Amino acid sequence: MANMDSDSRHLLIPEGDHEINPGPMNIQFDSSDIRSKRPFYIEPTNIVSVNDVIQRVSDHASAMNKRIHYYSRLTAPADRALIAPDHVVPAPEECYVYSPLGSAYKLQCYTEGYGKNTSLVTIFMIWNTMLGTSILSIPWGIKQAGFTTGMCVIMLMGLLTLYCCYRVVKSRSMISSVDTTTWEYPDVCRYYFGSFGQWSSLLFSLVSLIGAMIVYWVLMSNFLFNTGKFIFSTVSVLYLIFLVTWKAIRLGFHLEFHWFMPTEFFVPEIRFQFPQLTGVLTLAFFIHNCIITLLKNNKNQENNVRDLSIAYMLVTLTYLYIGVLVFASFPSPPLSKDCIEQNFLDNFPSSDILSFIARIFLLFQMMTVYPLLGYLARVQLLGHVFGDVYPSIFHVLIFNLFIVGAGVIMACFYPNIGGIIRYSGAACGLAFVFIYPSLIYIISLHQEDRLTWPKVIFHVFIIILGLANLIVQFFM
């Protein structure tokens, strides 16, 4: 560096020729200041001490930064060979803007609500979304299946649907060639099955939505017998839990275990109508069409599987609790267990205050959710068929008439929500819960040459279970 000064001065400011670009100057100083000709020099006060315990930029990120700078000098701008792909660049919330003067600050997250929810919030959101009207039919389902069988079926179905949900969540990561960050599950289906996949997933999604709306209408017309005041929606589930607990305390337990033979007041522990319970549970544990979106907002993405499992466990416990308590506390000496209605609130008289309040909560919850479901159904159906979510007022009018009409007809002629739930649940669960996740997993493993026979057998078995679940509903 001994000759640096004279050499650099020559390079930077050619004598007497001010039209030529003087080259890089020290930007900390004015160009008239003699110090601007110095090599870049940082004032000592601005240098972060190497003994600082708080590291602002990780070594890994700093190395990646240098690497990307260097590679960008090696290629022409049009050449994409050395441009960093998305999977090596840190996520937006890990990026700092680092000034050579020693300060660093974090970029604001530019996507709203991106990854801001803690695990607790995510678990609660999944639990809240999954708990739906099927909760009212669980005791009836247990009655149909038998007490012991019912409890076992609830736990097994919970595990099975959890596994399929896990497959749904992992499905995007098996696609390495395309950017899947904005995809929901129907997009994955479209990737693997082409337009058949897109249309069939749309169809099954509509089945679940319209089925839910019909159930809602039936229940709302039922609850409208009892008018009342308005309260918030999650509270209705908590209130149901309270109601059931209270009634169980008041009524006490009435359980007798007869394994195969029905008696005057009790049903056998194991009954052949247990598929009716599985049908109900398919819809009860259904969240597969929107789980990806729900988990996207989880702050720590690596906890996704754990949080999902916890949420499923909580939902299973809730169903078990309500189902078992209602079933067990149902006063069997005067009444037979067979009398448990498909909507267990129907077992209470209209004058019973506590169940009256439960109906009010549920009524309000449904009245607020019904238009939302209608909107989702309209967006999906009209959007795909006509390309526009609001083609004209006539299209929308006819669509709404159809939906509401279906609800009214069902309420008049077949107000058995247990039946509606199990048919629609088994139908749409067939696609989203059983067939698509397993099939897509098998196909992606096959594409990566990682397919083994045990995996094929296991997942084909799941598909067969789903089919059997649907077919058997029609025979019961």
Partner 1 sequence: QGKSSPDAALPRAELGPSASPRPSPRQLRRVMPNTAMKKKVLLMGKSGSGKTSMRSIIFANYIARDTRRLGATIDVEHSHVRFLGNLVLNLWDCGGQDTFMENYFTSQRDNIFRNVEVLIYVFDVESRELEKDMHYYQSCLEAILQNSPDAKIFCLVHKMDLVQEDQRDLIFKEREEDLRRLSRPLECACFRTSIWDETLYKAWSSIVYQLIPNVQQLEMNLRNFAQIIEADEVLLFERATFLVISHYQCKEQRDVHRFEKISNIIKQFKLSCSKLATSFQSMEVRNSNFAAFIDIFTSNTYVMVVMSDPSIPSAATLINIRNARKHFEKLERVDGPKHRLLMR
Query: Residue 82 or residue 235: which is nearer to partner 1 going by CB?
Result: 82
- State both tokens at 162: 């959890």
Query: Residue 73 or residue 229: which is nearer to partner 1 going by CB?
Result: 73
**Cβ–Cβ < 8 Å for 435, 463:** yes
Task: Pick the binder of partner 1 from 6, 32, 108, 173 (CB under 8 A).
Answer: 173
Query: Residue 72 or residue 118: which is nearer to partner 1 going by CB?
Result: 72
**Cβ–Cβ < 8 Å for 315, 130:** yes
| Stretch in the footprint of partner 1 (CB under 8 A) among 55-63, 154-162, 184-192, 307-315 | 55-63
Using CB under 8 A as the binding rule, whether residue 108 contacts partner 1 is answered as: no
Using CB under 8 A as the binding rule, whether residue 44 contacts partner 1 is answered as: yes
- Determine the Cα–Cα distance for residues 250 and 54; give it in Å rounded to an integer: 60
Using CB under 8 A as the binding rule, whether residue 101 contacts partner 1 is answered as: no
Taking the complex as a whole, the smallest distance from the CB of residue 77 to partner 1 amounts, in Å, to 12
Query: Residue 12 or residue 109: which is nearer to partner 1 going by CB?
Result: 12
Instruction: Encode burial over 392-430: b for 16+ CB neighbours within 10 A, e otherwise.
Output: eeebeeebeeebeeebeebbeeebbbbbbbbbbbbbbbb
Count of residues that bind partner 1 according to CB under 8 A? 32
Using CB under 8 A as the binding rule, whether residue 34 contacts partner 1 is answered as: no
Roughly what angle, to the nearest 10 degrees, separates helices 353-386 and 234-251? 140
Query: Residue 75 or residue 234: which is nearer to partner 1 going by CB?
Result: 75
Residue in 365, 411, 364, 371 with CA at minimum distance from that of residue 228:
364
- Determine the Cα–Cα distance for residues 466 and 433; give it in Å rounded to an integer: 8
Task: Pick the binder of partner 1 from 5, 42, 94, 379 (CB under 8 A).
Answer: 42
The maximal CA–CA distance of the chain, rounded, in angstroms, is 114
Using CB under 8 A as the binding rule, whether residue 75 contacts partner 1 is answered as: yes
Task: Pick the binder of partner 1 from 5, 47, 225, 392 (CB under 8 A).
Answer: 47
- Determine the Cα–Cα distance for residues 88 and 163; give it in Å rounded to an integer: 29
Query: Residue 18 or residue 87: which is nearer to partner 1 going by CB?
Result: 87
**Cβ–Cβ < 8 Å for 402, 430:** no
Residue in 166, 123, 114 with CA at minimum distance from that of residue 307:
123
- Determine the Cα–Cα distance for residues 470 and 465; give it in Å rounded to an integer: 9
Using CB under 8 A as the binding rule, whether residue 50 contacts partner 1 is answered as: yes
Question: What x/- string results for residues 131 through 170 when contact with partner 1 is judged by CB under 8 A?
Answer: ----------------------------------------
Using CB under 8 A as the binding rule, whether residue 73 contacts partner 1 is answered as: yes
- Determine the Cα–Cα distance for residues 395 and 382; give it in Å rounded to an integer: 8
- Determine the Cα–Cα distance for residues 430 and 428; give it in Å rounded to an integer: 5
DSSP classification of residue 109: P
Query: Residue 69 or residue 229: which is nearer to partner 1 going by CB?
Result: 69
Using CB under 8 A as the binding rule, whether residue 18 contacts partner 1 is answered as: no
- Determine the Cα–Cα distance for residues 109 and 115; give it in Å rounded to an integer: 9
Task: Pick the binder of partner 1 from 9, 70, 398, 461 (CB under 8 A).
Answer: 70
Query: Residue 82 or residue 476: which is nearer to partner 1 going by CB?
Result: 82
Positions that interact with partner 1 (CB under 8 A): 1-2, 11, 23, 42, 44, 47, 49-50, 59-60, 62-64, 66-67, 69-71, 73-76, 79, 81-82, 84-85, 87-88, 173, 176
